[in-house]
Amino acid sequence: MIILLFILIFIVTYDLKCEKDRKIFSIEDTTAIKGIFCIIVVLVHIPTLYQNKIQDMIGSFAYIGVTIFFMTSSYGLKYGIHHKKDYLKNFWFTRLPKLLIPQFFVNLLNMFIKIINHESYKSVLLSIFGISDWVKLLLLFYILFYVVNIIVKNSKWKDFLLITFVIFYSLLGKMFPNISMHWEVESLGFAYGILLYNFLSIYNKWINHQYFSKCVFFCFSSLILGLLYLKVKPVFFVGDYFVKIILGIFLLLFLLQIMGRYKIGNKVSLFLGSISYESYLIHHVVFKYLEFLGDRFHFHFNSGMFIILSLFIILCISFLIHKITNHLLTILKRFEFKCEKLAKAE
């Protein structure tokens, strides 16, 4: 597990470049961040039998990774609507395939595991139509974003309604978990992304004023809040919601502060970021398959072996799904272009 910790440090620090007065949250920035945190998110979901203290410690803060994914999603939506022509017109044609094609291939693998596990035919057939709760929540936010931007004309009201809905979902999900799709704290990242887009130019200037003082402040504040969170984590609402949110905000501010001076993207983190969505979807399936193999052949994996092997398989399958998805998306774009051409000709 120590080796894995060094690998994570290498992914973050390799080819780290200092660039004074740099602008944060470029596509390269967001891709690299998603790449780093996709590994951490996978670690938090390692089956209990194979967990260890280091993995558990890292995993306690993995929710920031999911928060960042929601944050980059809403930021990307805001950027698209302001910079891309006919963005809403082509919204579902571009967004849905990117979400559902990888989900379909993950479902196929899940169905295969259910077959070799001799599960019921009903369970096998239903697995092909399954959609992760996390993807459902993202789709819900997409629908809300689309509807609000179609109906509401005032941009400030659009953002107010979107942010209000996200906060409402978060609070409602916390108070009534049975009707929630989970990720009550992490989903707030969707609101953070909207706010960051609106105030990015101001924030870029603010970051570079007394840069190192702010780095130290956010670092120590995050450390103190992290220790407090670990202590009060079992306490309903105060620990597992309120303190968790405040800690998440300070960790994000610390990360953004670092990005204000240092370019963290490298070949490794950018590669991981490009397949992060597929990795999020596939990792539970891989864990189930390895556990099945262990039981079938009476082989006991130690913690380190299980984690390293899982990560290797997850990355390989994610890369393959990513490549197939991109190929299918290219075909869809060609089809869309031909349809538009025919429509104009008529």
For residue 197 the two structure tokens come to 């887009």
Q: What is the predicted pLDDT for the residue at 54?
A: 66
314 inside domain: yes
**Across the 346 residues of the chain, what is the mean pLDDT of every consecutive 10-residue run?**
66 77 87 90 84 67 88 95 88 92 94 84 83 92 96 93 96 87 91 96 89 94 91 90 94 92 88 95 92 82 86 95 95 80 67
pLDDT tens digits for range 125-168: 888 888 998 999 999 999 999 999 999 999 899 999 999 999 99
DSSP H or E stretch at residue 262: strand 262-263
Measure the CA angle with vertex 138, ends 135 and 142; round to 5°. 135
Residue 330 is part of which domain span? 27-209+266-345
225 inside domain: no
DSSP H or E stretch at residue 263: strand 262-263
**HEC per residue, 3-40:** HHHHHHHHHHHCCCEECCCCCCCCHHHHHHHHHHHHHH
272 inside domain: yes
Q: What is the predicted pLDDT for the residue at 57?
A: 65
Structural domains counted in the chain: 1
Where do we find the tokens 């693998």? 109
245 inside domain: no
Plot region of 180 (φ>0 → left; ψ -120 to 50 → alpha; else → beta) = beta
d(CA 196, CA 198): 5
d(CA 229, CA 250): 12
Judge whether 282 and 242 are in contact, CB under 8 Å: no
3 inside domain: no
Q: What is the predicted pLDDT for the residue at 105?
A: 95
pTM of the full structure: 0.91
CA distances from 271 to 64, 122, 184, 256, 313 (A): 20, 37, 29, 21, 15
6 inside domain: no
235 inside domain: no
133 inside domain: yes
pLDDT tens digits for range 56-113: 666 666 788 899 999 999 999 999 999 888 899 889 988 999 999 999 999 999 998 8
d(CA 20, CA 6): 27
Helices 27-44 and 267-274: crossing angle, nearest 10°? 70
What is the end-to-end Cα distance of the chain in Å, rounded? 63
